Amino acid sequence: MNNEIRDQKGSKTSILQTLRMKGSMSRIELTRITGLSRATISTSIAELMEYNLVYETDNRQTTGGRPATSLELVPYSNIIIGVDFDHNLWTIGAFDLLGNVIKTITIPVNASSPEMTFKVLSGEIKDFIKTLDRDPIPLLGIGVPGLVSESHSIITSAAQLNWYHIDVEKIMREEIGWPTVVLNRYRARGLTECRYGSGQSFSNLAYIGVGTGVAAGLYIDRQLLSGSLGGAGEIGHFTIEPEGPLCPCGNQGCLQALCSGPVIEQEFRRLLRSGEKSVIYSDPSLDMQLLKTYDICAVADQGDALAIKVVNQAAAYLGIAMANLVNLFNPEAIILGGAIPNSSRLFVETATKIMKQRAMSSLSAATKVKTSSFKDIGGALGAANFALDKNMSMTFFNNNGVGTS
């Protein structure tokens, strides 16, 4: 067997990318989607099967005529690494090319500076790799808060962390020697939902993450729409109330300043101080600062009047933004994820109701609203996938020992 996979015309890379992004399919479908000839598909598939990257499945797809054998990527044949940063916590995951989780760890970070935060990550990744049973593909995807450059290498701004113009790719390449791709953590989570979660039955959809911040990902044919400067999906900075509260971005009335976790906490505490009552604050000696978003969401779902009032107000603002998004983008589905939608049925129901009231009825009626399937690991898996979307090369598999005797 030849020790090196050759791919001069990129046909094998195209086949692997198509199977990664779209899942199992027949040779005929591969020919149609990739634009490659049947002869090229046949030859390339034979070589990819020889190198244990692709195999024929027993599941046969029926198209009305003779059944066609499906092709899939071989499970667990290669490992990719993805990372997500949220709430001062690194989540590191190892996955195969089909999205199966091989191993994950979480690492708390006490540092506030970006340099130290990524220094902690680099050390943990080196240790994490040593625990795997084979070398991963030397490529890293990282999901981070804030706005990322169009090159997907720099955090342009993450106001809640006071991070600006952080060249993550340079830091990580110097630390671990791998090419690194960076994207917003919610857009990474949305990509996971597109391919493996609540959105996998749709081609065009939007993902909205609501937690300490608010951001969206827009996906066409299950691929992330980045925009000319990498900022497509900054729904958190839609102006919803022109004279509303000040947002960290400097604008007034941004969605993020009206429906994020810190806003829900602040409004709940304000109403408590004004004399309103809640079952989770029956003892005035308790520290109000200990009341967190998930506590408020939980009692809202249980019927607490004050919590319902606060959650409904925040969700209504999101519903307005969702309506605008439906009218602008016309997605098949909107997937809601992040700490708040994942912890409050009421929040999701109210946001959906307001969206249907305010969007064009013909569009909103056809738009499905779902909650995310993946929770903590979604950002790391999406980041790893996005890194491969941008940098897939047969060189990775050669370097990873594929096809060697």
Distance CA 10, CA 394 (A): 9
The SS3 call for residue 393 is: coil
Helices (H), 274-333: 293-301, 305-329
Distance CA 164, CA 187 (A): 19
Domains and CATH numbers, the chain: 11-73 (1.10.10.10), 80-190+378-399 (3.30.420.40), 199-371 (3.30.420.40)
> In terms of Cα–Cα distance, which of 385, 386, 402 is closest to 394?
402
Residue bearing tokens 């919803």: 240
- Write out the chain's pLDDT in tens, 405 residues: 445 677 767 899 999 999 998 889 999 999 999 999 999 999 999 999 998 999 998 765 555 555 668 999 999 999 999 999 998 999 999 999 999 999 999 999 998 899 999 999 999 999 999 999 999 999 999 999 999 999 999 999 998 889 999 999 999 999 999 999 999 999 999 999 999 999 999 999 999 999 999 999 999 998 999 998 888 999 999 999 999 999 988 999 999 999 999 999 999 999 999 999 999 988 877 888 889 999 999 999 999 999 999 999 999 999 999 999 999 999 999 999 999 999 999 999 999 999 999 999 999 999 999 999 998 899 999 999 999 999 988 888 765 544 332
